[in-house]
Amino acid sequence: MANSFGIDIGTQNLKVFSGSNNQITNIKNAIAIVNKNQMYAYGDSAYSMHEKAPESIQVSFPIVSGVIADFDNMQTMLFEVLEHDLKGKIKGSDIVVAVPTDITEVEKKAFADLFSKSKNKPHSVRICEKPIASAIGMGIDVSEPTGVMVVDLGADTTEISVISLGGLVLSELLPFGGNQIDESIVTYLKRNYNLVIGQKTAKQLKEEIGSAIEGRGEKLTVVGRDVVSGLPIEMEIESDVIYNAIRSDLESFCTNVKLILEKVPPELAKDIVHAGIYLTGGTSKLYQLTELFSQVTNIKVNAFDEPQESCVRGLGQVLSDAKFKTYGYSMKTRIFK
């Protein structure tokens, strides 16, 4: 299907599968606005302005906690990416959009409305539950009568799901993810080391020396502002400092995974123990997170090589493979007449 797109609109990243060349585009889901409503930049270039822009430029993230918070700017950016960056045509195209499971029907419809309420109407807009798309993208046959547990650790949300026979047996959307970990690092360093850093620096510390298990033994020098003097200073941070900063967040992740496991029917629990838990989402790249989950649950944990792209790869298969076509569905209210 040449004129088709699979779209995963995440809090931190926008991922698009293009049917014309089977390629995946992965850019930051950020928009820089001037004069209140004029797009100045988008994607990676807008993200590079975050925490650095003057007051005249507002950098925003249009997705908050898995739902669209800024509809107009999200639509503007999406069309810019599809029609200009990817040289695609929205008019007459087939589109599948991934949505979190535990959001309202109105919030789900907003994802489809990004296209249905545009001048260039596509041929069809279908919705696909994000956990199912992620499972398909990781090579799991979701149509089998076998229980599969997928833990999607995103930027603002964590979605824990159990899938069997192509449907969701259990699913829970938790209102915390990688951004909360970054905030915990900012708070911890300010409280214990009188060091004020930005979210980007916290993210760098998490990714480069952060660990889900104590004792990684690495260091990173960062620049921040001293609370006492108010002046910029350099400070060397050890990985165990970051571990202590995020320990309570990690405990929350583990507790919620265990709570879902306790609700799983016995026959499906047997399948999960046999196949393991599947981790996806950008936050799942945290060093030794798979080992931590294995220790807590006594179940092996499977990590995906490109966790940010598992969902959009699954959408590509929903578009191109007849076997998975039925996992994309139209909203109950007809979008096109």
Rounded to whole angstroms, the Cα distance separating 40 from 110 reads 24
Q: Which long-range contacts (CB under 8 A, 24 or more apart) does 186-189 make?
A: 187/245, 188/241, 188/244, 188/245, 189/224, 189/237, 189/241, 189/245
Rounded to whole angstroms, the Cα distance separating 181 from 186 reads 9
Alpha helices in 50-97 (DSSP H): 71-80
Determine the pLDDT at residue 332: 53
Determine the pLDDT at residue 35: 87
Determine the pLDDT at residue 297: 95
Q: Is 32 strand, coil or helix?
A: strand
Contacts of 212 by beta carbon, 8 Å cutoff, 6+ apart: 243, 250, 286, 287, 288, 289, 291, 292
What would you measure as the largest C-alpha separation in the chain, in angstroms?
65
Rounded to whole angstroms, the Cα distance separating 81 from 91 reads 14
Across-strand partners of 8?
15
Q: Which two tokens stand for residue 304?
A: 């995906």
Going residue by residue through the chain, which has 337 residues, state the pLDDT in tens, using 9 for 90 and above.
678 999 999 999 999 999 989 999 999 999 999 988 899 999 999 999 999 999 999 999 999 988 999 999 999 999 999 988 888 888 889 999 999 988 999 999 999 999 988 888 899 999 999 999 999 999 999 999 999 999 999 999 999 999 999 999 999 999 999 999 999 999 999 999 999 999 999 999 999 999 999 999 999 999 999 999 999 999 999 999 999 999 999 999 999 999 999 999 999 999 999 999 999 999 999 999 999 999 999 999 999 889 999 999 999 999 999 999 999 998 754 444 3
DSSP letter string, 134-156: HHHHTT--TTSS--EEEEEE-SS
Please, what are the domains in the chain?
Answer: 4-133+310-327 (3.30.420.40), 140-303 (3.30.420.40)
Rounded to whole angstroms, the Cα distance separating 207 from 169 reads 33
End-to-end CA distance of the chain: 23
Query: What b-and-e string marks burial along 279-306, b requiring 16 or more CB atoms within 10 Å of the CB?
Result: bbbbbbbbbbbbebbeebbebebebbee
What is residue 159's DSSP assignment? E
Determine the pLDDT at residue 1: 61
